[in-house]
Amino acid sequence: MRPARYARPVTPPRLIHVDDHLIVADKPAGLLAVPGRGPAKADCLAGRVQVLHPEARIVHRLDMATSGLIVLARGDEMQRRLSMAFAARQVDKAYTAVVEGVVADDAGEIDLPLAPDWPARPRQQVDRAHGKPSLTRWRVLIRDPAQARTRLWLQPVTGRSHQLRVHLAAIGHPIIGDTLYAAPARAAASPRLLLHASRLGFAHPATGAGSSFDSPAPF
């Protein structure tokens, strides 16, 4: 992906870490990770980073509605190495979410296969016949009975599209503010999706040293 060009200034990205080989940025909710189709969707995190570092290359993505940490590679070789680490599931990813309802158990796993819901794209769905294996681990951080909600720590073992959102909705605890998978009343209960990529950990692609980055949820 090459640097985007903008006709007007854009908000500078919030960079958590910059070295000679990679960049870790904190994406705000409502911003695309990469450009969409057409000039109206040109603004994105990758483009904003490339204004400062033209050699930056996207490695993975977050949904537009999700905020949090994204790593970008500096140059093609670092992109190749980091992409291989993601594909091999050698990256520790964790998210914070606030979901509907008071979750009873303290921790657990959601093991449900996922596939696109083609008639309702971009929605995904649980598909036990044709879906790809998908696994999410979770644990409770805070229960809030007064507001009938729970704050969770989430670890996606696989990385399917909308995985956390579909898995939590499937067990009856959709993420608050989710306009695709939550009931309309809960979707309207927050101006944004209450899902944040809070942690990234991986072996540095140049040195092999363990690297970990954290970003507290802004909700």
- Cα 20 to the center of its chain, rounded Å: 24
Catalytic residue among 19, 26, 43, 63: 63
Q: What is the pLDDT of residue 186?
A: 79
Q: What are phi and psi of 58, to 5 degrees?
A: -70, 145
In contact, 56 and 23? CB cutoff 8 Å: yes
- What is the architecture, at CATH level 2, of domain 94-195? 2-Layer Sandwich (3.30)
**In whole numbers, what is the pLDDT of the chain averaged over residues?**
95
To the query of whether residue 63 is one of the catalytic residues in this protein, the response is: yes
Neighbours of 94 (CB within 10 A): 18
18-22, 127-131, 185-189: least confidently modelled range: 185-189
Q: Which pLDDT score, from 0 to 100, does residue 5 have?
A: 52
Cis peptide bond N-terminal to 54, omega within 30: no
* Domain extents in the chain: 94-195
Per the CB < 8 A criterion, the answer to whether 27 and 45 are in contact is yes
User: Are 115 and 105 spatial neighbours (Cβ–Cβ below 8 Å)?
Assistant: no
